[in-house]
Amino acid sequence: MIKFIDLLSGNSISDIPIDHQQNLEHLLGKCKLLEEDWGKPLKVTSGYRTMQQHLNIYSRIASKKGQDFDPKNVPMKSRHLYGLACDLYDPTHELYKHYYNNQSKLTELGLWCEMGTDGWLHIQTVPYGSYKEGKDRFFLP
């Protein structure tokens, strides 16, 4: 069962702004509903991020690709930075495929997911920027 501490990504609660803590509480509730619907334990691979953690992640990604790190290529509006998103371990894409094919469940749960992930399912509690009611619950970042 996902716990609040799992969403902190090693951060101390006292270092997280109150509104972000409230977002994390809401996210936790959604994660528990998703886990209940899925019927198996889920594991958070990335939850709340400080800006430094966020930059470090994208620096590592660039390095793995053999590219120079350019902060201009970092998504600075990531929902992880506000406690509105987390990534769930999904190495076989089973979770991704299930919810991609059952998006009505995401609508019911009030969740949106990112397309094109590799080994995880990104979920967030707020719609993506171009979302229109009744549209796809999966989006390209």
Q: Could you tell me the pTM of the whole model?
A: 0.92
Q: What is the pLDDT of residue 141?
A: 82
Split into its structural domains, the chain has a count of 1
Q: What is the pLDDT of residue 27?
A: 98
Which residues constitute the domain of residue 20? 4-139
Higher pLDDT, 82 or 116: 82
pLDDT more than 90, % of the chain = 86
Residue (of 126, 131, 125, 128) closest to 141 by Cα position: 128
Q: pLDDT per residue over 65-80, tens digit each?
A: 999 999 988 989 999 9
Q: Does the structure show a pLDDT above 90 at 93?
A: yes
Q: What is the pLDDT of residue 106?
A: 96
Q: What is the pLDDT of residue 135?
A: 76
Can you give the CATH number for the domain in which 110 is found? 3.30.1380.10
Taking all residues of the chain, what is their mean pLDDT, rounded to a whole number? Answer: 94
